[in-house]
Structure 1
Amino acid sequence: MRIAVDVMGGDHAPAAVLTGCLDAVPILGDDHTLVLVGDEQVIRQGMEQAGLADHPQIEIVPTTQVIDMGEGPVAALRSKPDSSIVRLMALGGRKAGDQYCDVVISAGNTGACVAAAQMSMRRLAGVHRPGIAVTMPTFHGPVVVCDVGANPEPRPTHLHQYARMAAVYAEQIIGIDKPRVALLSIGGEETKGNILVKETHQLLKDDGTVNYIGYVEGRDIFNGKATVVITEGFTGNVVLKLAEGLAAGLFKTIASEIAETDPEMAMKFGPVVKNIYRKHDYHEFGGAPLLGANGTCLIMHGSSESRTVVAAIRSAISYIEHRVNDRIIDALDDTSIPQTEGAA
């Protein structure tokens, strides 16, 4: 298995990403190769400092350009053909030949990653549009939310496919038995929601292969009602960022209040608060897969740390071993999803 990582992508790149890659070397199997994409001098220097110079399981694909987080995806891909994102995604395409990689991972510009992945890797058979599936930790267990940024203006059939693909991912990788799939809306009543939501709702109701439970509101994501939540990319991204900010703010507030009220109590509760935070920390889940891509593409959080990279590599290996893409193709291989929008 060949695993490629964009060393230059992310808020803390290249240092944090490179450190994470090198920290992950011990978890590689004998038949695994880690392909580091980015500035060759930076990568070699880091390998030497880590005592991994000329490691037999590490390859380097040198690049000379970097796509910044704030750049427009399409313009950036055209103007920076030797960027780490473009070269990375090309490695995940079937045309890469001997350099082909089974997995590509980046914490870089999400829009550029999605666009480059679709250009180089294309889509799995039957998939209309790929979607990003993120795992959100909650008190009742993990919840898979799809899409969180790849497709902000989807059609009902796109969301229908996300339901099937995300259910496969939740079952195979997260370990959720018979995932309860729900559609995010502004109320639980069938009269609520816009045209997109209502039409998707009907498709899912008529789909006997999905364990569909109906609408959920934003707060239901955290109360255990559903284990897979489907929405369009714009709303999904807002929900994700809001949840991250709220969680971080609450933990800081709780820690501050305890310390101010009773310093001795803060010493006692400190380990408990840290343990709770760890269980709700997105770094522990690594990357979010681009479901539907004809390959395995994991997109990490822009502020990923070295431990995020290790978790992403571990998750990617599991993704391949569980043959998730093959199972997605099987899940979409019937006549209950209209196939007239293949390029839509």
Structure 2
Amino acid sequence: MKKLLSLLAATGLVATSGSVAVACNKKADDKGTATTKKDLSTITGDSLKLAPDANDEAAAKKAVISQIKAKLTVTVVETTDVAFSDFKAAESSDKPGSIVVTAAEKSTLVTGKATFALTFKAAEAAKPSIPDVNAQEVKIGETKSFDVTVENGDGSSVMTAAVKSGETFLEDIKVATDSSNKNKFTVSYKGKSKSDSATIVLTYKDVTKNVTVKVSEAEVAKTPVLSFSEAPSNPVDLSDKQPKTFTVKVENPVTSRKITVDLGTAEASLTLGEIGGTDAAQTFTLTAKAKIEQAVVITVKYEGATSNLTFNVSAATYQ
């Protein structure tokens, strides 16, 4: 064996084997540093169909770059790695768009080219909204209402209204839909107890809006009080057959409420003129149409007044 090894060393075969081993190692290192580019044309089928978030070129480019990353696991940059051309915007669901992407010559990431189809992005329907409603005021026991028109309403959905959870300041809340505009609603409510900031919650589909209501104490109605503007004589003589005007003052009057005049036993002998004047100063006339020998009592009344007014009239010398 020793003689065989000595013979191999003498012929140089051992050194030659070592040289071959070094050469093989160097070849393996060169192969490890090589870079493999991804081919854009390997993206095929449904992967070439994109749905950009808009119908413009910028959105199309963004969608293509995102798809290349998803399918080829490389992040390309426009100009450096890819170039775009032949952009055609989608016009409708029946007319999709398209865009061509081509690898740049200097790219170290991709080669080849691909044409992507672009689906149409339809405009989103405007969402409904409830406009702000001015703060409301109501008295305890009083019923009031306000109108609200939903913006971008669908003309069929119904608005609801309710008191805010945990509150008891309002009651009898109702909503009525307008007969001609189905997006318009009238909300009515009644004051129940005092509050500076009671809340009505309006709801339309998934949209809500709060309306603030101030509830105050109800005013105590003041009692009307009657008096003559000028005290009549006692009795008032109507013998001259001329109309005599009387003016009755009404303190704390009720709008449009009129006095009444009771002629008593003289109804057949007197003509009562029409009640006129204002709510606070009402007038009437009396005219004799027959002889009244004994004075008779005339009574002036007013609903809710503390007391009536009375005075006497006669027409003893009526001819």
> By the TM > 0.5 criterion, same fold?
no
| TM tier relative to shorter chain | under 0.3
Give 1 or 2: higher strand fraction. Answer: 2
Give 1 or 2: higher helix fraction. Answer: 1
TM-score (normalizing by structure 1): 0.15
Whose Rg is larger?
2
TM-score (normalizing by structure 2): 0.16
| Greater relative CO (CA pairs within 8 A, separation 6+) | 1
